[in-house]
Amino acid sequence: MVKLLLPFSLLALLAGCNGTPTPGDDDKPADDTSKAVDEDGDGFLPSEGDCDDSNADVSPAATELCNGIDDNCNSEIDEDVQGSYYQDFDGDGFGNPDATSVACDAPSGYVQNGNDCDDSENAAYPGATEICDEIDNNCDGAVDEGVTQTWYADADGDTYGDAAAPSLACDQPAGSVLDATDCDDTTGNAYPGNAEVCDEIDNNCDGTVDEGVTTTYYADFDGDRFGNSSLTQEACAVPTGYTINATDCDDAVAAVNPDATEVCNGIDDDCDGAIDTGASDMLTWYADTDADAYGDAAVSQLACTQPAGYVSISTDCDDARALTNPGATEYCNSYDDDCDGTVDEDSAADATTWYLDADGDTYGGAAITDVQCTQPAGFVADSTDCLDSSAISYPGADEICDSLDNDCDGTVDNDPVDGDTFYLDADNDGFGDPSSTDIECAVPSGYVDNSWDCDDTDRTEPVVADPVSGSASGTGSLASPYDSLQDAIDAAYQCVVAYSGTYREQIDLDGKNIDVWGVEGYDVTTIDPNLSTCTSTDPTACGTAVTIDSGTNAAPTIHGFTITGGTGSYTSSTTTTTCADSSASHSGRTTCTVTTYEYCGGGIYVNGDDPVFYDVDVRDNTLPEFQQVSSGSFNQVWMYSYGGGACLQNSNASFEDSWIAGNFADQGGGIFAEDGSSFTFEHGYVGENEASDGAGVNLSGASAAFTNAAIYCNDADTDGGGIFTETSGTATFTNTVFFGNTSSSSGTARGSQAYIGTSTTFNLLNSIAEATTTVALVYGAGGSGTQDYNNVYNSSGSAYGGTLSAGSGAISSGSNFSSGTCENNPYNDTFALRSTSSSIDAGDPSAAYNDVDGTVNDQGARGGPAGTW
């Protein structure tokens, strides 16, 4: 608080102004505290908090001292300046931590240290020396540590202590000793070194009681005073249940002992070592030679127990046969089994119930029976014939369509072996669902006899074509088919059914993902546009039989057709280039205007799509030969052709169960693939095609995989009769036959069966290449790959050439096929192995390549897991 001190004259003036009289000094009370005087001169008036204005050391600004005075005038005395002191009752200089006092100075009997562990004992304080006095002298929490001795109780007073009763002490406790070797501290008769006496005590503490001082007694369990010599007890006196005699032979039976009488009981009663000898109660036993429990009365002997081969009954009528005796059951066996004097009576247990077999089918009817041991004429043991008047009706018979229950299952004509398979026609379009069948003698309601429907919920599919009964105005139904296969394809969304006959037209799938099926098979269903083969004077007259070139990766399925009469889809271009001939008319001129025609795919042309072909025969499609001819002054026409049977560009395709035969092109008489295309070929033949290079197959930057196939009798003018590859791509042949393919014989690098170009990967596995030629059968002009477990045999030249050679598991032997000839008929050869072929079980032994029968893979088209086709 800030105080304003005004002059006295001003105060008086103010008082007068207020009308209040100013008293004189004599009128002021003696205790008037309004006087502004600091009596002790410490700078504080009582009104300013000085609690003792007579002591200059006491004021609100003073420091509190430990002096019993409120030095700082906060109404507390000696706060925060006192110390803690601990009672030192035993005067050892260490105080009791549980007896404290707070003061300015140590009270009498107190110290500043509070670490004493026992303030009643001046011999106990931290740092003191531990002595054996049962006190924790050094205050470490342990008493007499390291200064005591171990003493052992000596309860029996024999001066030997019990090791199991130790104690720690500074001095010897009463009844204790330092020795711990007493074995029994309950008796003074047992201690080490004492003499052993017969008192059932281990007197000498050696672990054995009464050794050398006992008598042997024998157990007498049956109480007959004769003991068991094998059960003894050493004792000082006869134990209860024992005897001094050891001659009992059965101590479990009181009646058995050396004084007993022998009886017939299977026991040595008198302990003489013989059982039942001389017993008077022996029985008469009869020989039972056949061991049927009945004896022969003529052969007997006396014995206490039944002798081996003897019984007590003497009524057997034939002791040489175990199944004949009075207790036996009579059976049909030409014996009097039950000894009743009659053989095989009708009551025999196994007498058969026979059933009349009126129709002679070995199954009888249950109505007429006869019970005998032997089969009566015209009767059989089976009674399950359901119709004994028909020899073709009996259990297990084949059900046939004859209105009889042939197999006796209670149903007539069900699942007949001569029945037909019918297919559900849910949409009533005349075509059945292949996944829903019924085998019956007649067409069931709602079923048809074909399985050609691709969608049994849509009556508009399949679309039907029939070149014989169809018409241009047809609707594509079964009742009104198109006569044009192309019209059916154009109308279809899912599938086309093509009936047999010849379709004289070119087919274009136009990017449709549909199934086109020649339902009656390729041998009677033909696509044949009958096109002319182009020449240099008529280069645009050619065409392809089947075109699949939408470039949309469409994947239609084509099956059940012969595809023939195609001459190639063409493209043309015109350039100026060096003349291709040396005609005199070209003297002085070095270039010609050249129009180039390229023909691709006689039977099938694929570009940018991924079709599937199976059960097709692509044959007799002929493309133009390679030509470079003049068409006027300094004008030339150049003609190239590719893929007589099929030409693939930018495509993926698959062929299965198909023929590619009798086709021609300059490059790839059978199949030509380029531009990164790839295709698979399984279970099929490529045969008797012709070309300049790659008469069977020609790959140009493409890949192919053949499995269980035959490439045979193809004829190349130059290289690669079976297959020809240029750069890049992969050609893989697994279980494939190369047979009789030919190439030019000039030079040695022709590869009559396979010519593999630079950078091509050629894999040959479990396959056979067999031919007679002067050039290498398999030649690599820089190609690589693996050729393992193959049989490559050339009877007139080398097997491998160039960069290719035989790999592991290779053999070389000929005469492998039971049918394999080149006679201008590609359909005659199956390339099955002769029984003497070295290629049998010669393929890769890995289980993955095993034949169908589980044996090691045969090489060739009929080996491996898919070798049956």
Q: Does residue 507 have a pLDDT over 80?
A: yes
pLDDT at 591: 78
| Cα 79 from chain centre | 86
Spatial CB neighbours of 308, under 8 Å, sequence gap ≥ 6? none
Residue 854, burial from CB neighbour count under 10 angstroms (0-12, 13-18, 19+): exposed
pLDDT at 162: 85
pLDDT at 523: 96
Higher pLDDT, 541 or 748: 541
Higher pLDDT, 254 or 457: 457
What is d(CA 79, CA 73) in angstroms, rounded to the nearest whole number? 11
pLDDT at 667: 97
Is residue 210 within 8 Å of 199, Cβ to Cβ?
A: yes
pLDDT grade, residue 466 (50/70/90)? Answer: very high
Across the chain, mean pLDDT equals: 88
What does the block give as tokens for 483? 């006569």
Higher pLDDT, 842 or 396: 842
pLDDT at 415: 85
What is d(CA 683, CA 162) in angstroms, rounded to the nearest whole number? 100
pLDDT at 635: 84
What 183-189 contacts at long range (C-beta under 8 Å, 24+ apart), as own/partner pairs, is 183/207, 184/156, 185/153, 185/154, 185/155, 185/156, 185/160, 185/161, 186/155, 186/156, 187/156, 188/156, 188/157, 188/158
Mean pLDDT of 342-368: 90
pLDDT at 31: 45
pLDDT at 497: 98
pLDDT grade, residue 621 (50/70/90)? Answer: very high
Mean pLDDT of 577-599: 70
CA-angle at 694, arms to 808 and 822, nearest 5° = 85
pLDDT digits (tens, 9 = 90+) for 731-746: 999 999 999 999 998 8
What is d(CA 192, CA 453) in angstroms, rounded to the nearest whole number? 112
Mean pLDDT of 199-208: 84
pLDDT at 32: 46
The DSSP H or E segment spanning 485 is: helix 485-491
The DSSP H or E segment spanning 731 is: strand 730-739
Range with the lowest mean pLDDT among 187-191, 207-211, 675-679? 207-211
What is d(CA 833, CA 815) in angstroms, rounded to the nearest whole number? 9
Percent of the chain with pLDDT over 70: 94
Mean pLDDT of 7-33: 38
pLDDT at 11: 29
The DSSP H or E segment spanning 15 is: helix 8-17
DSSP string for residues in 503-545: E-S-EE-TT---EEEETT-TTTEEE---PPPPBTTBTT----S
What is d(CA 764, CA 631) in angstroms, rounded to the nearest whole number? 46
pLDDT grade, residue 855 (50/70/90)? Answer: very high
| Cα distances (angstroms) measured from residue 768 to each of 778, 786, 819 | 11, 14, 14
| Cα 774 from chain centre | 53
3-class SS of residue 12: helix
pLDDT digits (tens, 9 = 90+) for 62-109: 888 898 898 999 988 888 888 888 888 888 889 898 888 888 888 888
pLDDT digits (tens, 9 = 90+) for 561-572: 999 999 999 999
pLDDT at 236: 86
pLDDT grade, residue 24 (50/70/90)? Answer: very low
Q: Does residue 16 have a pLDDT over 60?
A: no
Mean pLDDT of 547-560: 97
Range with the lowest mean pLDDT among 171-185, 362-376, 377-391, 678-692? 171-185
pLDDT at 747: 67
pLDDT grade, residue 645 (50/70/90)? Answer: very high
Is residue 440 within 8 Å of 473, Cβ to Cβ?
A: no
What is d(CA 309, CA 429) in angstroms, rounded to the nearest whole number? 88
Range with the lowest mean pLDDT among 243-247, 377-381, 662-666? 243-247
3-class SS of residue 55: coil
Q: Does residue 848 have a pLDDT over 80?
A: yes
Q: Does residue 34 have a pLDDT over 60?
A: no
Q: Does residue 6 have a pLDDT over 50?
A: no
Is residue 271 within 8 Å of 258, Cβ to Cβ?
A: yes
Q: Does residue 4 have a pLDDT over 50?
A: no
pLDDT at 171: 82
Q: Does residue 513 have a pLDDT over 50?
A: yes
pLDDT at 636: 85
pLDDT grade, residue 27 (50/70/90)? Answer: very low
At which residue do the structure tokens 């029945």 appear?
419
Higher pLDDT, 479 or 216: 479
Q: Does residue 28 have a pLDDT over 50?
A: no
| Cα distances (angstroms) measured from residue 751 to each of 292, 438, 777, 858 | 88, 54, 5, 25
Mean pLDDT of 617-640: 88
What does the block give as tokens for 563? 């595809």
Percent of the chain with pLDDT over 90: 54
What is d(CA 583, CA 594) in angstroms, rounded to the nearest whole number? 15
Q: Does residue 117 have a pLDDT over 80?
A: yes
pLDDT digits (tens, 9 = 90+) for 770-829: 999 999 999 999 889 999 999 999 999 899 999 999 999 999 999 999 877 787 776 777
3-class SS of residue 656: strand
What is d(CA 629, CA 271) in angstroms, rounded to the nearest whole number? 134
Q: Does residue 58 have a pLDDT over 80?
A: yes
